[in-house]
Amino acid sequence: MRAIGEVISFSDWPDFKPNMTPREIFFEGSFGGSYWRPIFSSVVSKRLSDQHLEFEEWWEGIEDRMMTNSDYDRNRNRFGVNCGTPLEMWESKGWIREQDPYGWVQWYCRFFKGRRSPDDERQIGRWKAFAGPRGRFRIQLMNRVISKEGRHDDEEISPVIRQSLQHWAYRLTVSDFEEYSFEKWKGSIS
């Protein structure tokens, strides 16, 4: 059994190291319970629903209201905060591709299940920029923990950033935090 926060490795993409499975993202509470809701995708020009059933084996024990609710409810998020932007904004920015009209998490589910596609490099690059070792949200969270002299798992420190990172399949671990803190400390004394 995989320990919570343990890195998930992909031999063909060794620098892509999320530490949450698709199941954990939803089991923990993400996207206000509305990620897999029925949508109209302007990218594929049609209504979509039941897209989560492609991964049905992962969702046992997770209530539908945690994934397919028509309305966003922050109380369904692990950290109880509003977090994220509407699908329409993502579509307008060109971040959604036809192969995965629900976005990054749909791509991640399919990648996790074994699909490889021409979009992998872009999506992994987005993950690295956001949640990877030098990702902006991961760095912001660690800097805030350091500035408050807190612990890596103090959920009172930046719950919105923590929720955002969870959406990107990452939870701050003590080892990642200690490694970053040590590097930052070394840099301050040079």
pLDDT digits (tens, 9 = 90+) for 84-122: 888 999 999 999 999 999 999 999 999 999 999 999 999
Q: Which amino acid is at 58?
A: W
Q: How large is the angle between the packed helices 159-167 and 136-147, nearest 10 degrees?
A: 150
| Domain-embedded: residue 33 | yes
| Residue among 122, 71, 134, 59 nearest 96 (CA) | 122
| Domain-embedded: residue 67 | yes
| Domain-embedded: residue 146 | yes
Tell me which residue has tokens 């930052």: 184
Task: Give backbone dihedrals phi and psi of 128, rounded to 5 degrees, phi first.
Answer: -60, -40
| Residue among 31, 27, 30, 7 nearest 19 (CA) | 7
> What's the mean pLDDT in 158-163?
98
Q: How confident is residue 3, by pLDDT bands cut at 50, 70 and 90? A: confident
The tally of domains found in the chain comes to: 1
| Domain-embedded: residue 8 | no
pLDDT tens readout for residues 34-54: 999 999 999 999 999 999 999
pLDDT tens readout for residues 120-160: 999 999 999 999 999 999 999 999 999 999 999 999 999 99
Contact 99, 123 (CB under 8 A): no
Contact 67, 59 (CB under 8 A): yes
| Domain-embedded: residue 7 | no
| Domain-embedded: residue 104 | yes
pLDDT reported for residue 86: 87
Q: How confident is residue 190, by pLDDT bands cut at 50, 70 and 90? A: low
Token duo for residue 122: 């872009």
Q: Show the domain range for 170.
A: 22-189
Return the exposure string of 151-185: e unless at least 16 CB atoms fall within 10 Å of the residue's CB, then b.
ebeeeebbbebbbbbbbbbbbbbeebbeebeeeee
pLDDT reported for residue 1: 61
pLDDT reported for residue 77: 97
Token duo for residue 100: 């995965």
| Domain-embedded: residue 10 | no
pLDDT reported for residue 34: 97
Contact 80, 98 (CB under 8 A): no
> What's the mean pLDDT in 22-37?
97
